[in-house]
Amino acid sequence: MVNAYLSGAVIAGAYLLGGIPSSYYLGRWKRGIDIRRYGTGNIGISNVATFVGKKAVVPLVFFDIFIKGMLPVVIASGKVLDLGLEIEVAAGFAAIVGHNWPVWLRFSGGRGMATVLGVVAALNWPLVVLYGSVAGIGWLLTRSSAVWWGIAALMMPVWTVVLRQPLEVTFFALGFLAVVAVKRLTSNRTTPGAAPEQRVGLGRLLWNRLVLDRDIASREDWVYRRPGA
């Protein structure tokens, strides 16, 4: 019974920790802006780099990887509380959900791409190398990050099988892939008052959101929309 309460506390704590809107607070502190009203409206690292500054993302990446993502898994692991792999996976997943849908900002968060690096590194470091390499090499070749992060998420369940990971880790990878898809489908926004399916067609809209992580093909037009658009 004690372990059940402790496990629940760790998972809930992971969600709350993952949900700390560090990007939002940094924008307020460094530039006096609400980052949600600039560019894509996302509080993720990419939007912060564009409208707050590239140097500002360094502490954000560190915080998202090592504090939000890795720390809850390490606490649940044999290194600290030894709650079992199921709770390690659940804590890591909760941290990502918290980052993407934080209670602190009425469930409007980022994409969790840095947070998942910390979670996966704590679960299995060769897996994070494979996951990160797909996104990193793809970005170097095409300078398009959203497409390659999506491909990396799609490949993660495959890598868990190739590396003969426990079933819990494969379930985590499948859950993360579902989170990526849901976040991309529900969190992009066009100009208020305009039905996005009327602008590009519903089929194209769904494709753009799932693959490009935006509503329109042009990244420049999407990123540099007017504030609040």
What is the structure's pLDDT at 145?
82
What is the structure's pLDDT at 144?
76
- Whether 120 maps to a domain, the answer reads yes
Q: H or E element: which one contains 199?
A: helix 196-200
Q: 87 is in which domain, residue-wise?
A: 2-187
Question: What Rg value do the Cα atoms of the chain yield, rounded?
Answer: 18
- Whether 23 maps to a domain, the answer reads yes
Query: In degrees rounded to 5, what are phi and psi of residue 33?
Result: -120, 160
**Mean pLDDT across the chain:** 87
| pLDDT tens-place string over residues 196-206 | 444 667 888 88
- Residue 167's CB is within 10 A of a number of other CB atoms, namely 11
- Whether 121 maps to a domain, the answer reads yes
Mean pLDDT of 43-54: 82
- Whether 140 maps to a domain, the answer reads yes
- Whether 150 maps to a domain, the answer reads yes
For residues 211 and 180, give the distance between their C-alpha atoms in angstroms, rounded to a whole number: 10
For residues 46 and 212, give the distance between their C-alpha atoms in angstroms, rounded to a whole number: 14
**Own/partner long-range contacts of 184-193 (Cβ < 8 Å, ≥24 apart):** 184/150, 184/209, 184/210, 184/213, 185/209, 185/210, 187/42, 187/108, 188/40, 188/213, 188/214, 188/215, 189/41, 189/215, 189/229, 190/215, 190/216, 190/229, 191/225, 191/229, 192/228, 192/229
What is the structure's pLDDT at 214?
84
Amino acid at 227: P
What is the structure's pLDDT at 183?
93
Flag whether pLDDT at 225 surpasses 80.
no
What share of the chain in percent tops pLDDT 70? Answer: 92
What domain count does the chain have?
Answer: 1
- Whether 123 maps to a domain, the answer reads yes
Mean pLDDT of 108-134: 92
Instruction: For residue 228, name the pLDDT band (cuts at 50, 70, 90).
Output: very low
Between helices 167-187 and 113-123, what is the axis angle to 10°?
Answer: 180
Mean pLDDT of 145-162: 93
- Whether 130 maps to a domain, the answer reads yes
Flag whether pLDDT at 227 surpasses 70.
no
What is the structure's pLDDT at 3?
81
74 CB-side CA count, 13 A: 11
Pick the more confident residue, 58 or 119: 119
- Whether 174 maps to a domain, the answer reads yes
Mean pLDDT of 112-134: 93
Flag whether pLDDT at 41 surpasses 80.
no
What is the structure's pLDDT at 179?
96
Q: Which two tokens stand for residue 58?
A: 């360094």
| pLDDT tens-place string over residues 157-198 | 999 999 999 999 999 999 999 999 999 998 776 544 444 444
